Amino acid sequence: MSAPLSQPAFPRPRRGRPPTPGLRDRILRAAETIFARRDYHEVQMDDVVEACGVGKGTLYRYFPSKQRLYFAVMFDGIQRLRVELEAAVGTEEPPAQKVHRIVHRTLAFFWDRRFFFSLIHRSEHKSTGEAREWLRYRGALSRVIRETLDAAVAAGQVRRIDTRIATEMLLGMMRGVNRYRTDDDRLDALVAAVVDVFMGGVGTQTGRRIVAERRPVRA
């Protein structure tokens, strides 16, 4: 299991009254719910104030701008997803089965967070401090997937491919499904579609058989 990433160098409460235990996390949880339901430009700091029940001055003491708050929510979210994926693959199951678990956990995580990473995806190729920090967190998440694919290759369940590129392909498929799914789509059906297409391309006959015979996956 990889070591926890250090917290980004922002934001911390400004000087003055000492921080209230748990308040930063409470603000992040409230902001996460709001950013998950609306696009970035639709969110106002007043919405967060109302949702978490703090004064505007307190909010700005912890997060001086909407952008700083947004990035704090993003980094917190992707780190929690990484922890979930590490737990999902930390089993004795065949690696091909773990690919299914990765897809299931990832799509489930984003199911109610459709707008979650809209701004960061538009800025991840810029050379800002936030973009570099995002790439560091994203790299840690990608590493969990790549190591799982490496194990699947070693076990003969995935063909000898470039697992770095295969990881990006799988992430891209999941991002596309999250972005373009409809209200009629169901999680399990979309998980099955992604896994079938992905393993149909990179999987060996053994790997595809393991996925086809998989046990039900719990969220």
Q: Which CATH number is 70-212 given?
A: 1.10.357.10
By residue count, the chain amounts to 219
Q: CA 127, 133, 138: angle at the middle one, nearest 5? A: 110
CATH architecture label of 16-64? Orthogonal Bundle (1.10)
Residue 116, phi then psi, degrees to nearest 5 = -55, -45
Amino acid (1-letter code) at residue 22: G
Q: Residue 158 pairs with which residues in a beta bridge?
A: 203
Cα dist from 79 to 20, 154, 155, 219, whole Å: 23, 27, 28, 18
CB 42 within 8 A of CB 51: no
Cα dist from 114 to 61, 117, 118, whole Å: 28, 8, 8
* pLDDT of 3: 52
Range(s) within the chain of domains with CATH label 1.10.10.60 = 16-64
- Using one digit for the tens of pLDDT, what is the confidence trace for 59-96? 999 999 998 999 899 899 999 999 999 999 999 999 99
- Using one digit for the tens of pLDDT, what is the confidence trace for 96-124? 999 999 999 999 998 888 776 666 666 56
Residue 211, phi then psi, degrees to nearest 5 = -65, -40
pLDDT band at 36 (very low <50, low <70, confident <90, very high): confident
Q: CA 39, 41, 45: angle at the middle one, nearest 5? A: 105
